Amino acid sequence: MQRFLIPVVLLAVAVLRADLVNCACDVARPETMEARSCSLCREAEKQNADVKVFFLKDANPSKPGRWLALPRIHPRSMDQLNNEQRAELWSAAIAKAKSLFDDQWAIAYNAPSVQTQCHVHVHIGKLIPGVETSQFITATKIEDIPVPAGGEGLWIHPQGNLFHVHSGEQITETVLER
Ligand SMILES: [Zn+2]
Ligand SMILES: [Zn+2]
C-alpha cells in the first residue's frame, strides 16, 4: 500500500505549485492595472485596436539584444489563445526574429509559473551556440508548434527550413543571448 501513496503525494505537490504572481489585471478596473505584474497589460492597452501582435524591446538593461512579442488581447498564458491567435503570435515573432538575427534566432516562452508578468509574451533573441538538447520535436510549419504541455515553457529555433520545438523546461529564455 505504502508504495502507491508516494506518487499521489508527488502529484499533489505538482498541482499545488503556485505562480509567482497573483494576476488581477483588469482593464475595466484601472486601479488593478497599476500593479508591476500588469505592466505588459498596460503596454497592450496602448496599441491600436487593429493590432494583433506587437513588439517591445526588453526593458531589462542587462538584455540589450532582446525583444518581446505579445498579442494585444489579454491572455495570461499560451493555452488561453486559440489556434489562430497562437499562430499569429508565433508567425509575427518568427518574422521579427529572422529580421533581427537571420538564421541565428530563437524564441523562448517561459512557463507561466515562473513568469512575473500577467500577459502572455515570448522572448526573441539570438540562440546561444551549443545549447541544443535532445528533448525536441521537429515542426514543418507554424501551425505544428504545439501548445506547451502541462504548464511548461518551450523554445524554438530554426533547423534548415524546419523548426525545433524544445520542451520539458520551465525557464527557457536562458537559451538566448542577452
Ligand atoms: Zn494583459
Ligand atoms: Zn534544437
Q: What separation in angstroms does the CA of 35 have from each of 23, 24, 47, 95, 123?
A: 9, 8, 19, 31, 21
- 45-60 pLDDT, tens digit per residue, is 999 999 999 999 998 8
For strand 162-169 and strand 122-126, is the pairing parallel, antiparallel, or unpaired? unpaired
Quote the ligand 2 centre to 137 CA distance (angstroms).
Answer: 8
- 73-111 pLDDT, tens digit per residue, is 999 999 999 999 999 999 999 999 999 999 999 999 999
* Residue-range domain boundaries for the chain: 2-175
- Here the cell at position 10 is 508527488
Ligand nearest the Cα atom of residue 167: 2
d(CA 166, CA 14): 21
d(CA 111, CA 14): 14
Q: For residue 3, name the pLDDT band (cuts at 50, 70, 90).
A: low
Ligand nearest the Cα atom of residue 71: 1
Ligand nearest the Cα atom of residue 130: 2
The topology under which CATH files domain 2-175 is HIT family, subunit A (3.30.428)
- 50-83 b/e (C-beta count within 10 Å ≥ 16 → b): eeebbeeebeeeebeebbbbbbbebbbbbeebee
